[in-house]
Amino acid sequence: MKGIVFNILEQMVIEKAGLVAWDQLLNDVQLDSQGIYTAGKSYPDDEVVALATRASEMLDIPTGDLIKAFGCYMFAQLVERYPIFTDQKTTFFDFLKSVHDVIHVEVRKLYDEPSLPDFKHKQINDTQLLMRYSSPRKFCMLAEGLIAGAAEHYQVKYKLDHRTCMHQGADHCDFLITLEP
Ligand code: ZN
């Protein structure tokens, strides 16, 4: 994971729970990096998992829910830093369909060798889009949170059916996204 992800996690914890909570979290998990992250550098995935797991205990929120909330928060932060990614897309579905072939290509120019998940999409009809996620990290809850953040950005309501999941033995996750009026 790139340091920027950790920077945004730190920002969220401080905003929601205070600086003392972030210090406590770092103290509890004892990381090699000591919690000092440079945006463009890579850090072990284990650190983000350890931080999220401990934060979920501290805040009494299930880990999956916390990671999803983090994904949603991260989306808004990324839009602030890189508004061009959403400015070029006018709808929620257009944005989601551009993630793999446009946005991730741009991210690779900004960051040295980021490890990004694979996303495929299939538009079923005007109101339904299937997104297929695969990554050896199985961070599908983070992807769900980022999708939630995108929906907030585009001000749409939707339902997400996480119908196939890597955590249940599949080699990918399928999200069926249905727009709601
Ligand atoms: Zn999944």
The CATH number given to whatever domain includes residue 114 is: 3.90.1520.10
Q: Domain range for residue 167?
A: 90-180
Can you give the pLDDT of all 181 residues of the chain as single tens digits?
899 999 999 999 999 899 999 999 999 998 988 889 999 899 998 999 999 999 999 888 999 999 999 999 999 999 999 898 888 888 999 999 999 888 888 888 888 888 889 999 999 999 999 999 999 999 999 999 999 999 999 999 999 999 999 999 999 999 999 999 9
Q: How far is the CA of 135 from the centre of ligand 1 (A)?
A: 10
Residue 36 lies in a domain: yes
pTM of the predicted model over 0.85? yes
* CA neighbours closer than 13 Å in the CB half-sphere of residue 74: 22
Which pLDDT does position 150 carry in this prediction? 96
**Chain centroid to CA 36:** 20
Q: How far is the CA of 178 from the centre of ligand 1 (A)?
A: 17
Q: Are 8 and 72 in contact (CB under 8 A)?
A: no
Task: Tell me the two tokens of residue 115.
Answer: 């490890």
For residues 25 and 96, membership in a common domain is answered with no
For residues 95 and 175, membership in a common domain is answered with yes
Q: How far is the CA of 71 from the centre of ligand 1 (A)?
A: 14
Closest residue by Cα to residue 21 from 38, 36, 9 = 9
For residues 176 and 94, membership in a common domain is answered with yes
Q: How far is the CA of 7 from the centre of ligand 1 (A)?
A: 25
Residue ranges with CB less than 5 Å from ion ligand 1 = 140, 165, 173
Q: What is the tally of structural domains in the chain?
A: 2
For residues 38 and 96, membership in a common domain is answered with no
